Structure 1
Amino acid sequence: MEKRPPACPRQAWMEDSSSQESRSPGLQLPSSYEVTTMQPLKLDASWLPIYKEEQEAVDSILAFVTSPNKEERDKATFLQSISVLYRSALKHGLTQGLDLFCDMYQLAENIKALLEEEPRDHLCTDLRHLSMLALEKLSLVDTALEGKAKSLLCACFSSVFWLPAEKEIPKADLALYMKTLNSMDSMLRTIVLSFPASRVSEELQGILELLLDFTSCEREAVRERAMARIDVLTRVLSDYSTLQANANVGRGTAGPVCSGEIQLPLLGKLLGRLILFRFSEEQTSCAAFHALFALAEFIFESRLKDRADQVHWEAVTTSALCSLSARDCAKAFGKHLQSHERTDVILVAIEALGDANILDQQVPSSLLDVALEDPDVWLTDAPKIVSSILESLPYCSTQAAWERAESLLRLMTNLYPTTVVILLCKAALQGDSTAPELWELMSSMPETLAKILEDFANLLHRQCFRCSAEGPRTQPMASSSRKAEWEELAEEPDLESHQGCPNVRTARLLLEGLVGLSQRAEMARNIELFLPGMMKILQVGSEDAKMKILLALQNVLRQLKKSKASFIAVQLVGRLLPLFDSECSELRELSIRMLAELLPLVVGRDEKRMRKE
């Protein structure tokens, strides 16, 4: 009967060494020697069940990992030995201990290092090809690549994707180039199918994220290669509904993974990028086209339970994909996406408006047209969408792109006014270069701003009465103008409370933006809209809030004709007198100076009303 390998090889080696010393009691070092020279450690893997079958391959691997000088021939032998060893172990059912062997001698790390040493400007050896064959065999053994797959694949992608474009590769190397790509695709399929059922979603998500990053590269060859690999993975994804457990120990006893069990949080982002490239003029179009078909199959296999619905949607999707309309494609998929997935599609389109690598800017515009036509379905995550618009505006390279982003921002302002204004305030406080243009846009919608101001005034009014009922406490808007505190508040993630109502912590942001907006002529012309909300804040706000309102009113009044300023001055004076007794010296001084400015503004019949006040 064959002797089983020890369960703990390291412990076994120590015990073996101790037993040899105990069997040689007569062996003594000369008394004059107190220090001995350490002999090099001789690695031993004879405990592996596969060792007898593939002793040469094991010894070649051990020789490489211990050698300080690694020649090109040694690298190839090392990689080939890994493939031979693991292929033989799988064939004979002797995979026990191979995961530990891989970890002990850092086989994966050595392969990664070899890939990273390869030059990116040419392909003249089959080292990349052999590396991916070796990684493919390693992935078939339980836990051999656990926790390492993403970093290894990143090294593989970087080593191959950055090579010169295919048309620039010498004809003599083209066969090797194609063989290398084929081995990468085979490795990708095997690695994904080898993940345990509990980790398929997470690992697949990580790999797709890597590839999507490469699709944003400036070099078309890199984008094309990344998109082709996404095509490979989406085909694997679409096959999951019919997969059977592989002949490896990685799948475990859980059996095959059904398509409905796979969760991909980046599905919307992936779909958005595929649509962009499907309708582009690049070589990526073909790979994106096939990937969209595979993604469609995955969606209707995993989400549509009724076979009749599957057949109908398959026909609609096929028609949309074969047409020349990105709009039709987005509509076909959108019906079967979750809300956050539709949001991600729109975020991809917004980002693409400022992406010079997207050759056809009409495609992201078409995706946004779908959202503009049906905002209740596509534009539900206001903070994410508005933030994306504000981030992308500085990079819009064409007037058409800017106008499309502006149209979307106007619609979002009508639907979610509080969110838009708060994010604009944040942009202004953070020194965003587009803030002036954005405030110009906002000032052209005074009714919207007036409504938001009134909402904040009501919020502060409720907060004031709540504080009074609960007794003395710190006011919700402490008096401070230090830049650091403003910046800290600007990072506040909670923009709104339930159902779009403004959050009291964000009122300071609005008021800070209001002071800047008050210097614009548009606000002065529409002051009647803003006045009720401003007066209410002047009554119930904190000292800091009241000072902001006074500064804004001061700016506005200086731009008005006397007849209009006189009417406002009469209403304002009654609100100023209580401020003369404020504990805040700055507020007292500002209110007194404000009164001195108001008196000369009063004309005609308003003088009698002023005396009464």
Structure 2
Amino acid sequence: MEERPPSSPRVAWEESGAPQERRSPPEPYEVTEVQPLRADADSLSLSEEEEDEEIGEYEKAAMDKIAYILKITEKNEALKMVFLESVCTICRGDDNTGLCDRVALFCRENNLAEKVKELLEDEPVDQLCTAVRYQAMLAIAALSEVKAIAQEEILPLLNACFKAVFYLPPEEDLDIHLYSHTLRAMDSMLQMLLLSHCTSSNEELRNILEVLIRFTSTQNKTARARALEQLWKLSSFITSNSWQEPFAKFVPPSQRTNIVCMTLETIGECSAEDKEWANLMLNVVLQGPTSWLMDVPETLEFIQRNLGSNSAFLQKTLFSVLDVLTIHFPRDVLMSVLTDLPHSDSTTLEIWKRILSLAENSECILDVLCSVLQDQELCGIFNVTPAELGLLRLIVMHPTEENLQELCKPAVLQKLLKIESLPLLWLVLRGLVLLSERPETAKGIRDLLPDVLGTLWFAKMSLALMATKIFRNVMTHVGKREARPIVVELAEKLLPLFSHVSSEVQEGSILLFKDVMEAVVWWQKRHMKKIVRRGLLPLLFQMSNETPSVAEASREALICCAKFLKWKELKRQAKRKGKMEIKECLLRQDRDTVNEYLWLSLPYLKDSQASLRYEAVEFIGLALQHSGDQSWGKLNVICSALQPLRDDAHPAVRSVATGVVQRCKRQQAEPPQRRLIGMCCWPC
């Protein structure tokens, strides 16, 4: 029974290569053997007497076949296979050094390595329908074992081998059985090349890597992935065989970061077998980070670009690399995050927060961070003094009473709040949260509320959450009147946060909106009423939020809005949680207000929560009945917005959306006069 490829990729390199490289290709790729012919006496380097004494019957027959086939110009597949099998046969031999030398001389005189290379180059790269590649790899391994390959022939041979395999079509388009055997033969060939040509300078390994690395940079994605996988296998073989030097020593420094990035790039999307090889390579990298992760800026930029991947495994891996990078190169990492990565990117902020979490448990990283925050070059970039930027070091230190008193310098913090860098801004807000939690220091930062308000334009989850905490804490400790100068502007900034992706931000902003309404004085009410009316519909929808605390906060805020607007019916229905009655209440207004509500509801059709999509569709259906403007253009916009929801994953959303779309289409088909008559008959 033929041997199947190993289920684990590690097997291919850990197995002994001796029997494998001489094995004939598996069925159905066996060929019919041609009859051997005697070669001329002077074509062999062995005398008749030596042949009789040292060369076996099979070996002599194989030499005859080789000599015969070499004279044939056009070779079919059968002849190619016989030739390659015969090369393996004559190299089989035993441990007789003299015989190996004579066989090697025969191979060199007949230029067999070059002939094998030519056969590989003749193979079509767009298909794999013969076992020639497989047998050629075994022939090269056999020639290498008897040292019948000259040093100058190795690189061209490797190039031909890699090109013949790497540029094949994707695996799904190949005979997977033959393809697997071909890959195993390549593994054995490289293993034999390394073992038989091993020198103190490890020149052979460097040659193989030189060719492999060239293929990892090709534009062909399939070829690049195969070359990278072969590189992973090679690293595993070197590491597991206790090579004289670490694997990184054989890779040019300029290529190491590139290999790390390519490994990480494919680790989230490769097959299970490839993932095992990638993890082995990653272990090599993480065990020798000072050799592989030397280019800190480029590695960080790669992590920043790929952290948004949908692959949770890749995200976890990238954070692991970031941790190791920070531990070994803390200053380079901190400086690079603050100077090289995009200042306003949320992923940069995630990287920064991860680094700070390490600093909290590492005195060494914490000391480096404090030093970086007083770096003269960094201060020049952000136009602050070392003393001003150095104040932030108190935020990452243990929050003692003494540290907080020193941190409470409103003028400096106000200047730092204007720095356009999310990592540093996050630090400042974190410090202000700490100060706002204590009554005595909360009074000291109350004048900074307008500057904190300016940070809400970032709409980043962690920043928005800290900003709302600062406002609520200060208003709790100092009193709502301290926020009066900015309450109208603050309320307007809070409205978009009602639909934030973070439930914490939603709840915090809604509760703060409620507090803000209670802080308004009479001369602010006119402007505040307009903002409160715009908040009614979002609060109604959020009453159906899947997070109970957000739904309850929305109901309480809606009651507060009704009190502020002196709208008794709305207040009564909000207390009763009558959502349909609240919708009817909102729609019993003038045409312009109803139309405004209609357009405000459209963004909720794309909400991630089915409950909010349902409420929005239902409201649109009711709004169309109450709206006096039933123009064709308006109905067309509504239909287009609702159309995707007819295929919604939630059945209730599908049902109500289908009903509203059908109603819109019927109205579009009616003449304008009849449409007006029908409107008069709609229930109010």
The structure, 1 or 2, with the larger RCO (C-alpha pairs under 8 Å, 6+ apart) is 1
* TM over 0.5, shorter chain: no
Point out the structure with the larger helix share.
2
Task: Give the structure with higher Rg (CA).
Answer: 2
Give the TM-score normalised by structure 2.
Answer: 0.38
Give the TM-score normalised by structure 1.
Answer: 0.42
